[in-house]
Structure 1
Amino acid sequence: MNDLRKTEAPVSTVTIDKNKFDSPTENIYEAISVVAKRANQINAEIKKELIEKLEEFATYTDSLEEIFENKEQIEVSKFYEKLPKPHAIAIQEWLEGKIYHRNTEK
């Protein structure tokens, strides 16, 4: 997976030039489809990574009343909350030409 700390994807909403966005495919719908598929991949990668990191801190108890605050676990969660959303990362990768795509119908 790409290093998420180095992504230049915006954390907030930004306007993107439509002509720049759809220029690799010359079809806005195809471009959106490619980016959406990549966003789903990124989301799955982030989710898998987060679950693996949080399992390192997991404590299993018999009582539901016992809640442990783990500072490391909280820091990991905060890091992932501050990341750009998967769709923003996918759009940034698309605009930088980092996503390979091909139209199988052509």
Structure 2
Amino acid sequence: MMDVKKIKAPASTVTYNRNEIDAPTNNIYEAISVIAKRADQINSEIKKELIEKLEEFATYNDSLEEIFENKEQIEVSRFYERLPKPHALAVQEWLDDKIYYRNTEGDTKE
């Protein structure tokens, strides 16, 4: 599993140089498509990790009316809320050349 805590991505909105984004593919739409797919992967990984950590602190009751939140759950949730968003992490990975991709359209034989 990747370590999102070590990726230095911005936590707020940033304007990127379009030429840097589309440089690897020479096509801005293809670059954004690759980044979007990676952002989905990152989001799934973060969500899975968060659910696993929250499960450690879960308390189960027979009554649906009573919901207990303990300090550990709240701290874990706050930590994940402060992380950069998946799309920011994916863009940073793209700019750092850490995403492997290939165009499969050229792979087909006629």
The count of corresponding residues between Structure 1 and Structure 2 is: 106
1:11 and 2:16 are equivalent in the alignment: no
CA deviation map 1:29-54 (0-9, x unaligned): 00000000000000000010011111
Q: Following the alignment from structure 1 to structure 2, what is the Cα–Cα distance between the partners of residues 81 and 66?
A: 25
In the superposition, the TM-score normalised over structure 2's length comes to 0.92
Unmatched runs of 5 consecutive residues or more in structure 1 = none
Counterpart of 2:69 in structure 1 is 69
2:47 corresponds in structure 1 to 47
**Could you list the per-position Cα deviations for residues 59-90 of structure 1 after superposition, in whole angstroms to 9, with x for gaps in the alignment?**
11011232323111111000000000000000
Letter matched to residue 50 of structure 2:
L
Residue number in structure 1 paired with 2:82: 82
Q: Runs of 5+ in structure 2 lacking a partner?
A: none
Q: Please give the alpha-carbon distance, in whole angstroms, between the structure 1 residues aligned to 2:11 and 2:42.
A: 15
TM-score (norm 1): 0.96
Are residue 97 (structure 1) and residue 97 (structure 2) matched?
yes
SS of 1:105's partner is helix
Moved over 6 A (4+): none
The CA RMSD over aligned residues, in Å, is 0.9
Letter in 1 for 2:56: E
Identity %: 76
Q: What is the Cα deviation at residue 105 of structure 1?
A: 1.1
